[in-house]
């Protein structure tokens, strides 16, 4: 399959999956109500630092991982941002199919919870506007359909990692018996951003820390706690039917 055809197919896949994500989430908190990441943790590493040296080393690690067909395919799938990707990619780790129709309460807490956690990235992305590795090295990513938009969006912290890690934390709370499997998939989801070439390692590391803070904030919302209660009850009911 030639490169142009591959790019076209990926673009079609992105459009098809994003079309399933049209429902507007009902946020628990706004970006301004979230903990301020610019204040509570350091920004991206300086280009002369040891941390940035590690970023560069991990970029080359990610390029090497692209030679693994299974990992490259997974990283490409994870690059398609949205709930459709999350419910598909986390299904095995969670141990149950997730859908708006069959698991509406789980779907709702995932949709609203991940979208709310994402708000913690709004301010630092705008403040730092860090250039992404594919821009610095002037090399293509595994998912070229996203590159034009990514060039206009700051790299620090990683929004995809926030999505994957918040989804993992939500699903772990619903099904704690599968915590290890769910967290492993959530960690790999963020790591795949390095494989794709869209983020530095420090972007993903920072995103996990910030997402954990955002997740703690979620638990101060009575509406979230009530929705999580419904999601857990739904899971237990469906689990008993299997």
Torsion, Cα of 100, 102, 105, 107 (10° steps): -40
Does residue 66 have an active-site annotation?
no
Catalytic residue among 130, 193, 205, 208: 193
The DSSP-derived string for 15-57 is HHHHGGG-SPP--SS-TTTS--HHHHS--SPPTTSHHHHHHHH
Catalytic residue among 160, 178, 185, 208: 160
Q: How far apart are CA 87 and CA 100, in angstroms?
A: 10
- What angle do the packed helices 69-78 and 179-196 form, to 10 degrees? 90
Residue located via tokens 């209660």: 229
Q: Which DSSP helix (H) or strand (E) runs through 202?
A: helix 201-218
Residue 162: how many CA atoms within 13 Å on its side-chain side?
Answer: 26
Does residue 67 have an active-site annotation?
no
Catalytic residue among 55, 112, 146, 203: 203
Residue 169: how many CA atoms within 13 Å on its side-chain side?
Answer: 21
Catalytic residue among 108, 130, 132, 199: 199
Q: How far apart are CA 6 and CA 144, in angstroms?
A: 10
Contact predicate 169/215, CB 8 Å = yes
Does residue 112 have an active-site annotation?
no
Does residue 160 have an active-site annotation?
yes
Q: Which residues are identified as catalytic?
A: 160, 193, 199, 203
């Amino acid at each position: 399959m030639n490169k142009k055809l591959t790019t076209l197919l990926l673009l079609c896949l992105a459009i098809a999956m994003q079309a399933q994500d049209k429902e507007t989430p009902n946020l628990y908190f706004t970006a301004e109500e979230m903990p301020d990441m610019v204040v509570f943790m350091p920004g991206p590493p300086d280009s002369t630092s040891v941390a940035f040296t590690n970023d560069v080393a991990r970029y080359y690690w990610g390029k090497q991982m692209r030679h693994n067909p299974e990992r490259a395919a997974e990283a490409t799938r994870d690059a398609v941002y949205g709930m459709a990707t999350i419910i598909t990619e986390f299904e095995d780790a969670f141990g149950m199919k997730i859908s708006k129709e069959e698991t509406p309460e789980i779907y709702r807490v995932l949709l609203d919870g991940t979208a709310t956690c994402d708000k913690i990235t709004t301010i630092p992305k705008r403040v730092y506007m860090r250039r992404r590795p594919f821009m610095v090295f002037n090399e293509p990513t595994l998912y070229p359909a996203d590159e034009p938009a990514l060039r206009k969006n700051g790299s620090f912290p990683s929004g995809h990692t926030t999505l994957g890690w918040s989804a993992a934390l939500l699903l772990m709370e619903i099904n704690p018996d599968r915590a290890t499997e769910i967290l492993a998939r959530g960690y790999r989801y963020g790591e795949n951003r390095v494989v794709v070439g869209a983020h530095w390692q420090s972007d993903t590391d920072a995103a996990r820390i910030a997402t954990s803070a955002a997740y703690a904030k979620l638990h101060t919302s009575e509406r979230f706690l009530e929705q999580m209660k419904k999601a857990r009850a739904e899971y237990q009911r469906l689990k008993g039917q299997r």
